[in-house]
Amino acid sequence: MSFEVLLHPKRVKRVITRLPRAHQKKLKYLIDQLAEDPHLFSRSTQISSGNLTKANFDVKRCKGRTNRFRVRFGDFRLVYEVDEEERLVLLLKLDVRGEVYPAR
């Protein structure tokens, strides 16, 4: 059973339109994969689709959060959260590295 992917209207949807085409394609592939299995990239399974592989996405769990992850592709970071009960993947923020993480 797949998950529903929801995009934050201001923090994600608006940024997607400003991404380079190559990053938009990668992001579409990533979103499709997250809809199928949001924990796919955190396991050691090899994924390939044309020239896109698991190696293209650096996925790590956010510190202090059990269900929040960040994906690195190029200079951009995507932060998403998984709600297992509701079967949702919430795309919370997409931006360049310096703008995604909160100031310490």
pLDDT of residue 43: 53
Read off the CATH number of the domain in which 29 is found.
3.30.2310.20
Q: Cα–Cα distance between 80 and 25 in angstroms, integer?
A: 18
Q: Report, as ranges of residue numbers, the positions in the chain whose pLDDT lies below 50.
A: 44-52, 54-55
What number of H helices and E strands is found in the chain?
3, 7
User: pLDDT tens for residues 24-54?
Assistant: 988 898 899 899 988 866 554 444 444 445 4
Diameter of the chain measured on Cα atoms: 39
Number of domains in the chain: 1
Range of the structural domain that residue 74 is part of: 4-45+52-100
The single-letter DSSP state of residue 101 is S
pLDDT of residue 84: 92
Q: Cα–Cα distance between 43 and 101 in angstroms, integer?
A: 24
Q: Cα–Cα distance between 57 and 71 in angstroms, integer?
A: 6
Alpha helical stretches, state H, the chain: 14-16, 21-36, 97-100
